[in-house]
Structure 1
Amino acid sequence: MRAPVLGAILCLALVQTPAEAAGKEVRLAYVEWADAVVATDILKQVLEEKGYQVKTIPLAAAAMWQAVANGDADASVAAWLPVTQAAYYEKLKNRLELIGPNVTGAKIGWAVPASSPLNSIEDLKTKAADVDGKVIGIDPGAGLMKSSEAAIKAYGLPVKLVDGSDATMTSALKDAIRRKQDIVVTAWTPHWMFARYELKYLADPKKVFGEDESVNTLARKGLKDDMPEVYKILTKFKLTVKEEEAVMAENEEKGADHVANAAKWIKQHRETVDGWLK
């Protein structure tokens, strides 16, 4: 009888790994914005330390929220509130769990080179020609784009909001700075462009873009019960604006490996990470 009993004990030991379900897949949804890539990379590697298989799912913002609400994703650390993605939250708040901020002191708005004579959004009423009558935007449907459309209307501006992506927006910014031309871009903090270039936000006296934002962690309903260890890590996962911007800037270097940069951050902030894992 000893052999079967011993075998059963060994099988049980194999099941009861440090993670409550070693090898179990965790699905993380995110928007392919520079800050979300950094946060998701770091969280993925931290969860992998605990024995989880982690699948990252890049989506548009609306689809990211929907994926968590539907249970197609377990969590996301890329939800901007209270303004940028407020519409998604209001629509889906009863179908998912808002764990809370993982980055505070975030901000959205319009940015220009620090040398620009533009200081306020209102300046564009008379100086739109200085930027070719355009505000260079990101992906259509993003909360920042909706706020930008509201700003154009609220301030009565003779400008066109140009759809694009994070990559096309930053490319246009880089080109304008190289040519020493003025430009207005949709912007948010944390973002690597603030670490790379001297920029300033245009004042928003009407507060169309709101006050400070936070980047939040979302979880699907039931995650706390299904994966308590994952849920606990999510509640502790937090980064600072400066930390994210530093890694984002590294990721933009030629030949950069964003996975390796996340691993380096974890190594350099081992005490912080260990705190998430306790």
Structure 2
Amino acid sequence: MIKHPLSRTIRFASLAMVAGVGLAAGAAQAQDKGSVHLAYVEWSSEVASTNVVRAVLEQAGYEVELTSLSAAAMWQSLSTGDADAIVAAWLPTTHADYLERVGDKVVDLGPNLDGTKLGLVVPAYTDVDSIAELDENADTFNGTITGIDPGAGLMGLTEKVVESYEFEEMDLQSGSGATMTAALASAINNEEDIVVTGWTPHWMFARWDLKYLEDPENVYGGAEQINTIARQGLKEDMPEAYAILDAFEWTPEQMGEVMLMNQEEDAEPYENAKQWVEENQDVVEEWLNG
């Protein structure tokens, strides 16, 4: 798997320290409580959850820094202490290799979301129903499985699919989550067949009629969870932030609300997260007082 260099990280400065007399007290409180650094992968699900957690931590008085990384670099930054936490660990299958490598340097806080799924996805109108049928129908899909970023655990599993099913005509093409959904949209608009690497929760299932291909070899495994993982020492350094991260848990439906907001034209994930947090204070209070 390709490890994206840390120099390609995308850093978003916290807005908690915006100048203004009215925010002075809040800024001072944030300074006193310190800064929490969250790493994440550019999956629409993780963009949603990480920005929501950012907004909640800021409500509690913390400054928050976000860094977008490949999956491999995200786990590495957590193990070295460059990141404080992630809410983007897909377990027990997708990120199993990463957890195995750094497990003694991180703390698993358990699931923040249940009910995930991974696999190969096609439009519902596609005649093919099983991964085992793909190679013999390669012409239908131009011999291509449209994937996401090469550092993603899902891509590693899909490479195993290519090997396990002994594909000779089908190749895995890497890209990004955005290029994958763009290709899917184009194919569906033209009523063409396409097979993509997919996962639940994802907004594409709300927008289009899709189906997972059966996986008789069970390479992708069963349903997964998304876990929160913290660096060692965070509980001692920032016990309140640690407690909030530990209490954070929501449903695929709640995540889906934020993900759909993020698909609107000119959407700002951080602004949408703040809006969702403001409108769901009953849920947020459970995390803050968990």
- TM-score in same-fold range (> 0.5): yes
Partner of 2:231: 220
Partner of 1:206: 217
Distance 1:57 1:82 in 2: 24
Q: Which runs of 5+ in 2 are unaligned?
A: 1-24
Distance 2:276 2:222 in 1: 29
Distance 1:236 1:212 in 2: 22
Q: Which runs of 5+ in 1 are unaligned?
A: 1-13
TM-score (norm 1): 0.91
Distance 1:244 1:267 in 2: 15
Partner of 2:47: 37
Question: Is 1:114–2:124 an aligned residue pair?
Answer: yes
Partner of 2:103: 93
Identical columns (%): 47
Residues 246-272 of structure 1: per-residue CA shift (max 9 Å, x gap): 211221111222222112211222111
Question: Is 1:67–2:72 an aligned residue pair?
Answer: no
Among 169, 191, 196, the residue aligned to 1:180: 191
Distance 1:111 1:210 in 2: 15
Residues 46-101 of structure 1: per-residue CA shift (max 9 Å, x gap): 00011110000111100100111100000000111111111000000001111111
CA contact (8 A) 1:196 1:249 kept: no
Q: Which runs of 4+ in 1 moved over 6 A?
A: none
Instruction: Identify the range of structure 1 (57-66 vs 256-265) with the bigger mean alpha-carbon deviation.
Output: 256-265
Partner of 1:260: 271
Partner of 1:10: none
AA aligned opposite 1:186? T
Larger gyration radius, structure 1 or structure 2: 1
Which SS does the other structure have where 2:32 is aligned?
coil
Which SS does the other structure have where 1:215 is aligned?
strand
Which SS does the other structure have where 2:175 is aligned?
coil
AA aligned opposite 2:93? V
1:9-24 counterparts in 2 under 5 A?
22-24=32-34
Partner of 1:79: 89
Alpha-carbon RMSD: 1.5
CA contact (8 A) 1:193 1:249 kept: no
Question: Is 1:46–2:59 an aligned residue pair?
Answer: no
Among 172, 177, 182, the residue aligned to 1:171: 182
CA contact (8 A) 1:106 1:189 kept: yes
CA contact (8 A) 1:30 1:37 kept: yes
Distance 1:34 1:22 in 2: 32
How far has the Cα of 1:23 moved from its partner? 4.3
Residues 3-24 of structure 1: per-residue CA shift (max 9 Å, x gap): xxxxxxxxxxx9xx988x7341
Among 154, 158, 161, the residue aligned to 1:148: 158
Which SS does the other structure have where 1:238 is aligned?
coil
Distance 1:247 1:234 in 2: 18
Among 129, 134, 145, the residue aligned to 1:124: 134
Which SS does the other structure have where 1:203 is aligned?
coil
Partner of 1:6: none
Distance 2:62 2:265 in 1: 31
CA contact (8 A) 1:107 1:212 kept: yes
Which SS does the other structure have where 1:208 is aligned?
coil
AA aligned opposite 2:110? G
Partner of 1:104: 114
Partner of 1:159: 170
Distance 1:46 1:89 in 2: 26
Distance 1:180 1:162 in 2: 21
AA aligned opposite 1:231? Y
Distance 2:164 2:143 in 1: 16
Partner of 1:250: 261
Which SS does the other structure have where 2:236 is aligned?
helix
AA aligned opposite 2:49? A
